[in-house]
Amino acid sequence: MEAPELQRHYLPDFELQSGIVLPELVIAYRCYGCLNQDASNVVVFPTYYTGTDSSNARLIGTGRALDPDNYFIIVPNLCGNGVSSSPSNTAAPFDGPRFPLVTVYDNVRAQKKLLEHLGIEYVALVLGWSMGGMQSYQWCAQYPDCVSNALVICATARTSAHNKVFLDGVSAALLADQHFNGGDYLSSPVAGLKAFARVYVGWAYSQAFFRNGRFRELGFSTVDDLIGDWEDDHLSWDANNLLAMLATWRAGDISQQWPFENCLGDALAAIKARVHLMPCEEDLYFRYEDTLQELEFLSKGKDCRYRSEFGHCSAGPGRVAEVTVLVEEQVRLLLSGV
Amino acid sequence: MEAPELQRHYLPDFELQSGIVLPELVIAYRCYGCLNQDASNVVVFPTYYTGTDSSNARLIGTGRALDPDNYFIIVPNLCGNGVSSSPSNTAAPFDGPRFPLVTVYDNVRAQKKLLEHLGIEYVALVLGWSMGGMQSYQWCAQYPDCVSNALVICATARTSAHNKVFLDGVSAALLADQHFNGGDYLSSPVAGLKAFARVYVGWAYSQAFFRNGRFRELGFSTVDDLIGDWEDDHLSWDANNLLAMLATWRAGDISQQWPFENCLGDALAAIKARVHLMPCEEDLYFRYEDTLQELEFLSKGKDCRYRSEFGHCSAGPGRVAEVTVLVEEQVRLLLSGV
């Protein structure tokens, strides 16, 4: 399938949750398929941390659950990922380390404006993995009358205390590199980015993944090869962009908006969409126990947890075949309205 | 109880497993109680990563399971901990980052020589937590005819692949700090040590520990207070010492000695001691699944696993009262010979 054109939606004078006004916020996105006459076939599929719209494309295709022959699938890039507005592509005074916190709420508000611009009022399904799942949850809480179904994969409605400790660990590893220079680096902080990746990889899978050598199924002969690949991937990222997305993640909390006043139970209870929660029991930072606590407040929630030694990364779009099958099963179920 | 005097045993021309000969290896230790006439009341209680003999003293006392009125308790300091031979106290050419790898085998061989010097042939009980547990396991495999009982708490016989990834993460965070300067730092690499601590803390407890605010039971009002305490503790350590102990830990493997040729099953099967394995199910790096795999090869092994949201740190000597009770129960059981 040839990839559709990358498009950009420009939002002038975009006021963030923090009160800071960005002179322009850009949401870069790709659309697959055609909008039907009553605009009832819309799927929103936001991207994840260190993902771009291209990463999500791995789940989209003719004959698949996310079929562009039947659905109009919009993949908006997460702010900070270098494609939508990010530290690396924003003009002064909001460039680099001066790029403000763009919350999940801000991302979803920008995505809603994009949909309005496209003439879309309702979303048949919003889905995503990891930070994509956080955005999906956020859609349900922020626009309860606009979303019919949500599939939240390896994500929670509020970033847990432990998840924050994990995030603070990876960012501390990056910041320990003096070349980072408060974000005004002259060249990439190589040691910091590599340390960041090395710390991250211990959390990204499960302990059993390493015990049972399952990295081989991902094409790596040794753990060192796997870590080397993570290092290379992180070296290809702008350090400020990584930290901007991390800040978004860390601040994730669907109750941080009117009228919920930080009460997570209220925010969850206000969700009208059917929400299928798909945590992985071996996920080390988006813990299924947190998901199960959230589930209790949802009026139309469903526990779709699964097991995989690939842990959090098991549901990275197109990475682990048997998990892709599970995800597509849930997509079909939700879209069929059963 | 007044602490007994810290003593030192000097081992000249100590050949390490690597073949490197240290001109002098020093084992610093403290003894509690008196050796009985037939030298049958000996307990060896090695220290853990970032612990010293003083840390282990928290489990020793009159009327307790480790009672100096009944037992002669020897607490040898782990090499690298700044009390026994370490990067910080060793003369050139083995000073600082030039300090060689001292394996768990090397530590235990030095401890055995100390015991011989004290006129001791048999050990009634060897016990320890974390790296102390690794040394206990090692004692059983290295001197199978000299150890009657072992209590291995939150430790494994071989450092697992995932455990190594965790260790590489924390050390990468430290090494990302250019002030570390290959170990020849002029002043302490503060950012690196703090990052090291920050990464570590995410692994040291369980996710539920943070979810349920159990850091409050340790005297901290917030997660930040807890992390700050870890940072302060790590700033008090010499960076090369931390890395030396980490290298010992990483290389942990009781089968890396004659005649086992890296066959863990054989090394475990050769153990004659009664071994009680006490993993914590919530421990994130010394996984109980690894322990259970090892248990299958032990002729007199017992699964004494327990649950605690305090995770790996639950069994740090004297830290969590209900776990101390469990540990002392096992000590009594093993020493009573039941």
Structural element, H or E, at residue A73: strand A72-76
pLDDT above 80: residue A51: yes
Q: Identify the band that residue B338 occupies on the pLDDT scale cut at 50, 70 and 90.
A: low
Cα–Cα distance, B248 to B162 (Å, whole number):
16
> What mean pLDDT do residues A227-237 have?
98
- Distance between CA B104 and CA B246 in Å, rounded? 11
Q: What is the pLDDT of residues B311-321, one digit of tens each?
A: 999 999 999 99
pLDDT band at A292 (very low <50, low <70, confident <90, very high): very high
Question: Per-residue pLDDT averaged across B217-228, rounded?
Answer: 98
pLDDT computed for residue A1 by the predictor = 61
Provide the β-strand partners of residue B75: B30
Judged by CB atoms closer than 8 Å, whether chains meet at B202 and A289 is answered as no
Residue B337's pLDDT is 77
What is the predicted pLDDT for the residue at A278? Answer: 98
The b/e string for A295-332 (b: 16+ C-beta within 10 A; e otherwise) is bebbeebbebbbebbbbbbbbbbebbeebbebbeebbe
Q: What is the mean pLDDT of residues A226-231?
A: 98
Number of neighbours of residue B152 by Cβ within 10 angstroms? 32
Q: Are A83 and A54 in contact (CB under 8 A)?
A: no
Contact call for residues A251 and A101 (beta carbons, < 8 A): yes
How many residue pairs bridge chain A and chain B with CB atoms within 8 Å of each other?
125
Provide the sign of the torsion angle of the four alpha carbons B76, B82, B83, B86, taken in this order: positive
- Is A312 among the catalytic positions? yes
Q: Which two tokens stand for residue A285?
A: 């930072």
Query: CB B290 to CB A211 under 8 A?
Result: yes
**A280 DSSP assignment:** B
Nearest by CB to A202, from B162, B201, B213: name it: B162
| Structure token pair of residue A309 | 């030694």
Indicate if the pLDDT at residue B122 is higher than 70.
yes
**Residues A116-168: tens digit of each pLDDT:** 999 999 999 999 999 999 999 999 999 999 999 999 999 999 999 999 999 99
What local confidence, expressed as pLDDT, does residue B1 receive? 61
Q: Distance of CA A140 to CAs A43, A65, A290, B211, B304, Å?
A: 13, 21, 18, 24, 46
Residues of A whose CB is below 8 A from B234: none
Looking at residue B259, its pLDDT comes to 95
CA distance B300 to B276: 8
Q: Hey, what are A164's tokens?
A: 């924050």
pLDDT for B3 equals: 84
Question: Is the confidence at residue B2, as pLDDT, over 90?
Answer: no
pTM for the predicted model, two decimal places: 0.96
Decide if A214 touches B, using CB distance below 8 A.
no
Nearest to B150 by CA among B131, B135, B130: B135
- The single-letter code of the amino acid at A149 is N
Is A191 close to B169, i.e. CB distance below 8 A?
no
Indicate the SS3 state at residue B82. coil
For the cut 70, the answer to whether the pLDDT of residue A267 exceeds it is yes
CB contacts, 8 Å: A287 with chain B? 207, 211
Q: Tokens 């005004």 label which residue? A: A184
Alpha carbon distance A309, A218 (integer Å) = 12
Q: Over 90: is that where the pLDDT of A38 sits?
A: yes
Question: Which residues, other chains included, contact B296 with Cβ-Cβ below 8 Å and sequence gap of 6+?
Answer: none
Write the DSSP symbol of residue A90: -
- Quick one: what percent of chain B has pLDDT higher than 90? 99
For residue A311, is it left (φ>0), alpha (ψ between -120 and 50) or beta?
left
Give the nearest chain A residue to B227 (CA atoms).
A165
Eight-class DSSP state of A158 = B
Q: Cβ of B168 and A192 within 8 Å?
A: no
Please give the pLDDT value at position B333: 97
Asked if B165 and A201 come within 8 Å (Cβ–Cβ), the reply is yes
> Pick the catalytic residue: A67, A106, A177, A283?
A283
The C-alpha R_g of chain B, in whole angstroms, comes to 19
Residue B152, pLDDT > 90, answer: yes
Q: Residue B101: count other Cβ atoms within 10 Å of its Cβ.
A: 16
In order, the DSSP letters of B135-202 are: HHHHHHHHSTTTEEEEEEES--SB--HHHHHHHHHHHHHHHTSGGGGGG--SS--HHHHHHHHHHHHH
**Chain A residues with beta carbon closer than 8 angstroms to that of B211:** 160-162, 287, 289-290
Contacts B228 to A, Cβ<8 Å: none
Whether A130 is catalytic is yes
Quick one: closest CA in B to A173, which residue?
B173
3-class secondary structure, B54: helix
Amino acid at B134: M
Q: Distances in Å between the alpha carbon of A269 and those of A150, A300, A310, B146, B212? A: 15, 9, 31, 63, 22
Q: In this predicted complex, what is the ipTM?
A: 0.95
Q: Measured between alpha carbons, how far is A296 from A294 in angstroms, rounded to an integer?
A: 5
Question: Could A165 and B227 be called an inter-chain contact, meaning their C-beta atoms sit closer than 8 Å?
Answer: yes
Residues of A in contact with B179 (CB under 8 A): 178
Question: Angle of helix B239-250 relative to helix B131-142, nearest 10 degrees?
Answer: 50
Residue A336 burial (CB count, 10 A) = 8
Q: What is the pLDDT of residue A222?
A: 98
Does the pLDDT at position A110 exceed 70? yes
Q: Residue A213: left (phi > 0), alpha (psi -120 to 50), or beta? A: left
Residue B40 confidence class, pLDDT cut points 50, 70, 90: very high
First-residue to last-residue Cα distance in chain A: 29
Q: Please indicate if any CB of chain A lies within 8 Å of the CB of B263.
A: no
DSSP B303: E
Establish if A228 touches chain B: CB-CB under 8 angstroms: no
- The percentage of residues in chain A with a pLDDT greater than 70, rounded to a whole number, is 99
Residue B239 pLDDT > 80: yes
In 3D space, the residue among A223, A171, A164 whose CA is nearest the CA of residue A192 turns out to be A171
Q: A337 falls in which pLDDT band (50, 70, 90)?
A: confident
